[in-house]
Structure 1
């Protein structure tokens, strides 16, 4: 690289994992390392040393949520004064424009429950009971995401289930706009560490669509209050589904207010401000 005609970077922003490699390749560049999850929950503890080295060699460390920031200070020894939270957001512009109702859900009766994302991460029991909690066995369940066996079985047994497969992020907007309640019911048998650092993007997208949302717990919710109805059990769902429907307009308004406080435009301004501070050496 030193012999090339390409200019050297002033700043490198990575999500970590390279140790000292980039620091050694570009010794004069400032460095921001972003952490997007508790990596140990998926890769095991072996990378702890690499993570710590990444953060030590960074001029600033960014976490996508306050729960994750707390973890980094406690478990990865990141100093508070070089740790910054730049959270998730939503593309408010994409959701502000009303979209046509997708043809493949026009036959789905209201009220419509919707799951959007990896069905492999969903809790099949809670999803099934959410459908059963609809009043008088009415309504429908829209499942958007890569198909899995339990979802195929549920769709084969119940005509109210519309299993659509994957959709692009752009197309997903129209589906959310034409549903009534968002579901974020994640498999709680997974390691609790997997939920420790998550700041779920789907919450912000459903908020931007004005969807009343029912969610299993996330540690981030303790730091970032939001209008989602949090459930821990089948019994909780039996109460949450009617509440989401009967208070739909109030919950929708509160979700939109939450989204308006958390746009990607806001997140860009926060990131831009941090970059300027790092480059100026004012941290």
Structure 2
């Protein structure tokens, strides 16, 4: 029997190599608990790891192999590439995916339609991480994906309590599955930080440090940052992260003498930069989009033992060491209070203990507990899934 043809114009030798890779990934899946497929989302090789990356890693720790689809990203992959143990990046003809023994599909609103790229027998998780308005995709596609997945997904999860409340009437079984943290990354005690020339001006100054690590976009309150920095001229404000749009690239707040924007840094290095910080900072704009927000960075600040000051949003309630403030004056006062907390070793230890319980592995195990009826099967004994034909 010859090598099956592919939709892309590749040589017979390349086609055979690609089908050999399918067999390789399939064997690995059978050696593990199964195979989890993440449809096209964001690239793997980006400065700031996000929820899909962390979940993929946690699934491998729990014994699964993972295919992380990068067809919409710039990762230099053709076919399958094992980027980390049991994590396979994929970019290539979609028909290769149909032959994989996929155990579970983990989708977001912008990629639900890619469920059709793999076997329809696999149960599907619809992970709601924000409101539709946030995503820069065709609105009609997002609405179709959302409507289908809300009705037919085997498990619907929400990253915040506010989002869970929005959908509990349509899906009474919707699961609250907030963000989390890889706590081991932030155990950097005594490890020297790599040299970074961009910190020269920062190191030449002195004073307490408020740090922000994350993307800069329309939801970031640059006006608040500028006013707080003026109110606290003896503080340093270290801003780490990429600009996702033009909303703040030229904002005067980033040019103030005690504000130090250094751009994005590789994700594995972030814990070292957090060692320079006294207090975490989340100055977000107060609009409806924040209602469903669950900042991943908040968990990472706490894992680093940093008290944090945030603008008010529902999901920030109930975290230890997190202070909320809205006006420049109250935000500045909260930073001073948080700095006092940061000098208390018992507070720092409490924050780290809290973060230890909020791991990505715990999140995956919670999801798997709810998926057990669909995953614990052998051949025809599998219970019916909610997936529509």
- Under a length normalisation based on structure 2, what TM-score does the superposition of the two structures give? 0.61
Does 1:279 pair with 2:354?
no
Aligned residue number for residue 177 of structure 1? 275
More helix, by proportion = 1
Does 1:204 pair with 2:304?
no
Aligned residue number for residue 132 of structure 1? 230
Does 1:220 pair with 2:315?
yes
Aligned residue number for residue 145 of structure 1? 241
Whole-Å Cα distance in 2 between the matches of residues 84 and 97 of structure 1? 33
* Pair 132,253 (structure 1): closer, same or farther in 2 beyond 3 Å: farther
Aligned residue number for residue 255 of structure 1? 351
Q: Pick from 165, 170, 185 the counterpart of residue 94 of structure 1.
A: 185
Aligned residue number for residue 32 of structure 1? 125
Whole-Å Cα distance in 2 between the matches of residues 72 and 34 of structure 1? 12
Q: Determine which structure has greater relative contact order: mean sequence separation of CA pairs < 8 Å that are 6+ residues apart, divided by chain length.
A: 1
Whole-Å Cα distance in 1 between the matches of residues 313 and 152 of structure 2? 30
CA contact (8 A) 1:244 1:251 kept: no
Deviation at 1:200, TM superposition (A): 0.6
Where 1:106 maps in the other structure, the secondary structure is helix
Deviation at 1:86, TM superposition (A): 2.0
Whole-Å Cα distance in 2 between the matches of residues 27 and 282 of structure 1? 12
* Pair 260,14 (structure 1): closer, same or farther in 2 beyond 3 Å: same
Whole-Å Cα distance in 2 between the matches of residues 119 and 20 of structure 1? 29
Greater CA deviation, 250-259 or 119-128? 250-259
Whole-Å Cα distance in 2 between the matches of residues 27 and 119 of structure 1? 38
Aligned residue number for residue 165 of structure 1? 263
* Structure 2: unaligned runs, 5 residues or longer: 1-93, 377-382
* Structure 1: unaligned runs, 5 residues or longer: none
- Under a length normalisation based on structure 1, what TM-score does the superposition of the two structures give? 0.82
Aligned residue number for residue 50 of structure 2? none
* Pair 237,259 (structure 1): closer, same or farther in 2 beyond 3 Å: same
Deviations along 1:203-241, one digit per CA (max 9) or x if unpaired, are: 00111111111001222234x544310111123113212
Aligned residue number for residue 10 of structure 1? 103
Whole-Å Cα distance in 2 between the matches of residues 4 and 242 of structure 1? 54
| Structure ID, larger Rg | 2
CA contact (8 A) 2:228 2:329 kept: no
Deviation at 1:33, TM superposition (A): 1.5
Deviation at 1:93, TM superposition (A): 0.7
Whole-Å Cα distance in 1 between the matches of residues 275 and 96 of structure 2? 53
